[in-house]
Each structure stands twice: as C-alpha cells, then as structure tokens.
Structure 1
C-alpha cells in the first residue's frame, strides 16, 4: 500500500507564496535541493492542482544531459520526468508533459484506490488540492521546509480549520537557515 505525502517550502509564518503570489524567497540552495531530491526519489505519482502543475512544467523541458545545468537540477529533472502526474483542472484541455493525465475533479475514492494499489509514494502538491486530500483523510505524512523569512500573508501551506495530530518523524537544519520537518499523521 502506498502513502500520500504533502510537501511544501514555507515561510516561517506558514505561507507558500506571499500576498503578491511571489515565492522567489523559497528557492532551495543546492544543499536543500539535494535533500529534496532524496525525498522525492520514492514518489511514483504526483497529484497537482493546475497552478502548481504549470510551475512544475519547467522540469519537462529541462534536459538531463545538459552539462550547463547543475547536477542537483539534472537529478531532479530525471526524478520528475520518471514519475506519473495527475493534474486536477477544469480548464486544462490536456496534459503538456509526458506520463500525465488530466482529471476534471478530485475524487477522494479514486485516490484511496490509487493508494491501495501502489507500492510507491504519492505526493499531493498545491495548497488548494492538498486541502481536499486533508479533508478526505488521505494524507499520511506532512513534509515542510521552513524558510527563514516571514511574508505576512498570502497562500497558506495548510488549510484553515485543519485539525491533525502529528508525530515528528524527521528533522534537519540546513546551513542557510531552512529547517526540514517531517511528520506522520496520527489517526
């Protein structure tokens, strides 16, 4: 049986983007990116909302063999391109990347079935989509990369009104002040 993780790079005050929609403050250092790559290797399927998918599409056109690209980025390119992607969107006419399908609505039972029939890790990305997964009780782990910045408002990583009991599974402090926190959702 697979697990569903929700991962985000957040500000100290819990936002993935500021009030203007900017998230440039969240760009990972090579050290953080290497750590992210190691976490992402187990992901067999990404579940994305449309906006995050459109941001992540850059990885589809990056070339693994491009020697001008840093090794950490070539590594992530290979990881992202090897995984399946399901994009939940009522507006996209079709996928713009390989190994991708578009679903019009988020169906918790279909995701529950996917979890039950996979041995890999599923990753839900995008706070709006993740809110649906949290509401359906589908998320098994929460992984946060907390950046040393306070943005004062914007798009929250976790939905308002969410109540979860969590168990700290892993933590790591990086040289640039980013802190990784990995939690298991207690049921």
Structure 2
C-alpha cells in the first residue's frame, strides 16, 4: 500500500523559493552530476527554467530513482501548476497529477494528460490515492502541501536540503500553524551539494 509523501528541495532555513518564485541554486544538484536519474531517458525537465537533463551524483541517483519509481500520483497547487504549465502534461514522476484549485483545468490544455482539478485537499488526496493504485502519492511542498500536512493527511516528509540560506521566501510548510512532531529521520543520504532526509510523521 502506498503512502503520502510531502516533498521538495529546500534551503537550510526552510524555503523552497524566494518571494518571486526563483529557486536560485536549489535545483543545481539535479543537473551537475554524472549519473542520469532515469537511465536511457532524454525527457527534458524545465521546472527551474534550466531546460537541461537530470544528472546527479551517484548517491542521489539511487535515492531519487527509488522515490520516483514508487510515485503513482503527484499533488500540486494551482500556483505551481501555472508556474510550470503543468510540466506540459508530463510530470517528472508518476502517471497522474491532482491539482488543488478553485479554478478548472484550462480549456483545451493537454486533454490526453491525466490531470484532475479539485478544490478540497481531502478530496484531492482521496482522488490521488485512487489514481495511484497502491503506489505512493507525492505532495509538493508549499502552501497547499502545508494545508495537506496540517490536515493530518501526510505520512512522511521528504526534504532535499541544499546548503544555502534564503532569509525569506516561500516556506516548505507554507503558513502552517502550531507544532507537529516527526520521527527521527529513517533516510539520511549525502549527495553532492544536497542532503536527502525522510521523516515519518508522528501520529
């Protein structure tokens, strides 16, 4: 049975982008290594505007491959969807995407893509689990991710921590209130210019 994983690349001080949605050096490790994440794949990825191919360190490649291969559905907010134009209908992992939004899918936008627009986080997670078919659901961090986490719908938190301090910007957990305990990290992997961490959410 799959789990719900909240995930993003994040600065040491907890930001996933600056106030203008610029990720700065946060995604550089995705492109500066010598090992492709998906062997034999030439699919471009343009999340950070680099327009390059994923090549990471060997340690990161093993970790990211395992995570991405386990994902059936990605859940994202409308803001990120608009920023990346939904990855043009080709998510970096999984076969389905659920977008949390009060606005419907843009008319005529990639009708062949399995993208579903729902306006409630609980309904969105239920739909994502259904689509995932027993695989994991990956929730993009940020405001919507924070809402899903705050609603108690996240099983694990995954952070790819990059050694940079932003000072301000878009927070990993959005505007979540209160304290929430996590278990000790059960994954700690040092890559090149990134530290991969995974924590189970304490119930």
TM-score norm. by structure 1 comes to: 0.77
Deviating more after overlay: 123-132 vs 49-58: 49-58
Cα distance change on mapping 1:21 and 1:60 into 2, 3 Å: closer
Cα distance change on mapping 1:182 and 1:138 into 2, 3 Å: same
1:52 aligns to what?
Answer: 80
Give the number of the structure with larger relative contact order, counting CA–CA contacts within 8 Å between residues 6 or more apart: 1
Match of 2:122 among 85, 108, 122: 108
Bigger helix share? 1
What do residues 31-74 of structure 1 show as CA deviations (whole Å, max 9, x unaligned)? 16734343111111111101222344464367xxxxxxxxxxxx
Match of 1:123 among 111, 130, 138: 138
How many residues are paired up? 169
Tell me, yes or no, if the aligned pair for 1:51 and 1:126 is still in contact at 8 Å: no
What do residues 110-132 of structure 1 show as CA deviations (whole Å, max 9, x unaligned)? 62575488411001114111112
2:45 aligns to what?
Answer: none
**What's the CA shift for 1:172?**
0.8
Tell me, yes or no, if the aligned pair for 2:98 and 2:117 is still in contact at 8 Å: yes
**What's the CA shift for 1:165?**
2.5
Equivalent positions of 1:19-98 (< 5 A) are: 19-27=19-27, 28-29=30-31, 30-31=55-56, 34=61, 35-57=63-85, 59-60=87-88, 80=93, 83-94=95-106, 96-97=109-110, 98=113
Deviating more after overlay: 117-126 vs 83-92: 117-126
TM-score norm. by structure 2 comes to: 0.71
Aligned-partner Cα distance in 1 for 2:24–2:120? 28
Deviating more after overlay: 2-11 vs 117-126: 117-126
Aligned-partner Cα distance in 2 for 1:43–1:61? 16
Aligned-partner Cα distance in 2 for 1:162–1:21? 26
Matched, 1:146 2:161: yes
Gaps of 5+ in 1: 63-76
Gaps of 5+ in 2: 32-54
> What root-mean-square deviation, in Å, do the aligned CA atoms of Structure 1 and Structure 2 show?
2.7
1:41 partner SS: helix
Tell me, yes or no, if the aligned pair for 1:94 and 1:101 is still in contact at 8 Å: no
